[in-house]
Chain A
Amino acid sequence: MIALQSLLTLSAVLFVIGVCGFITRRNVLIMFMSVELMLNAANLAMLAFARHNASMDPQVVAMFVMALAAAEVAVGLAIIVAVFRRRGTVNIDDLRNLKW
C-alpha cells in the first residue's frame, strides 16, 4: 500500500528542488528546466489526489498543465534563442538591461 502522504512528500521534494534550481542557477535554460520540474511536481500531486478520490477531473487538469507547458516551452525557448542571437549569452546576470 502506498500512502497518499508519501506521494505528496515526493511531489513537495521535487517542487522544492525546482524552486532551489530556479533561484540558484543563472543559466536561463536551466532555470526554465526548473520551472518544468515544478510543473511536474504539481502534476504528480494532482494525479495522487485523482487516484485517492477516485475522480478523473484532476487528470484532465494535469493534461491541461502538460499542454500549457508545451506552449510555454515553445515561446520561452524562442525568446531565449532571440535573446541569444542579439546578446550572445544565456546568463541571466548579463541580461539586466531591462532594469533601466
Chain B
Amino acid sequence: MWIELLTKVLIAGAVLTGILSFGGVLTWVERKQSALMQDRIGANRASILGFRLLGLFHIMTDGIKMFAKEEFIPRTDHRVLFLLAPFIAWLFSLAAFAVIPFSPELTVAGYQVTLQVANPEIGLLVAFAMMGMAIYGVVLGGWASNNNYALLGSMRATAQMISYEVALAAAAVGPLLIYRTLNMQEIVIRQGQLYNGWLPLWGIVLQPLAFLLFLVAGAAETKRVPFDLPEGESEIIGFNLEYSSMRFGAFMFTDFIEKILVACLTTTIFLGGWQVPWLADDGFRLGGALALELGPMVVWLLRLAAFGIKVCALIYVLMLVRWTLPRFRYDQLMSFGWKFLLPLAFLNIIVTAAVVLVLNL
C-alpha cells in the first residue's frame, strides 16, 4: 500500500513539475512566436555571462520580476477572497491534469506504472468539473477587487466561459458516443484501431466537425485572442486590473496552464492520445512484411513522446491563431458561441447518434 501511495505521489509530482515547467517555456515561446509573426526579434536581452541562449533566460527573469515587484492590494471588504482568487483558478486548472493519460500502462518489476495520476471511470467529467470550478477564480477575483472595471471584466469573463464551456462539453459528446466510455485511458485505447489496415481511426478522422468545434471552444475557454475580452490587457480593462506582482503572475500562468489543458484534452479525445500510427504493443506493423520489432520500454517512450508532440503541435496552432486574428466584439462573441458553435455541436450529436444507432458501432 505504501509503495502504491509513493508511486502515486511521484507520478503526481512528475506531472506537476512537467506542466509547470512546460508552462514556463510557453511564456517564452509565445513571445518568440509573436516576434516572428510581427517581424521582430523578440525577447533576447537577458544573458548570463554573455550567453543569451535565444533569450531563454527571460523565463527566469520574468519569474524574478513577478516575485520582486511590489504587491498592491486595493482597499476591499473581501481581502481574503482577493488574495485567494488567483490560486483558486490556478489550483483547479492544475487539478484537471490528474486524469490526463500522458502514457499507456507499463509493467515495471511487477508494478503497473502509468503517467496518469488517477484513472476514474468518469475521467472526462472530472476534467470538465475542474475546468468549471477554475472559473470561480476569475469571477471572485474581479468581484473582490472592489473596482467597477474589474467587476465588469469578470462578468464578461464569466458569461464567456460559461457559454463556451457548454459548447466545449457538447462538442465532446459526439466522439464519446463512438467510444462509449468516459474513461480517459479507454478513450485513447479505442482510437488504436486502423481502418482498412492503414488509416488510424482517431477522433479527428471520425469526428472532424467536433474537433474544430472543440478546438474553437477550447480557445475561448482559455481566454485567448480572438476571445480575450475578459483580459484585453491594453485596451479593455479586464478582471485582473487590480492584481499585481505574483498574484497577477498566477492569473497569467493559469492561462498558459489552461492552454496546455485544452491541448491535452483535444489530444486525448481527437488525436489518439498516446497512440502512434501503426505502432502496436510489440513494434511497428505496416502490413505485410513491413514490421519492426521493438521492446516494451521503447514503445512506451515512443508513445509518451507522441503525446508530447501532439500537444505541442496543437499549442502551436492555437498560438498561430492568437497572433493572426483580431479580437471579437462582445456581442459577436456571445452570438458566435450560442448561435453558431452550440447548434453545430448539437447537430453533430444528433447525426452521430443516428449513425451509431444505424451502423450499430
Q: Do chains A and B touch in the complex (CB under 8 A)?
A: no
Which residues in A have some Cβ–Cβ distance to B below 8 Å? none
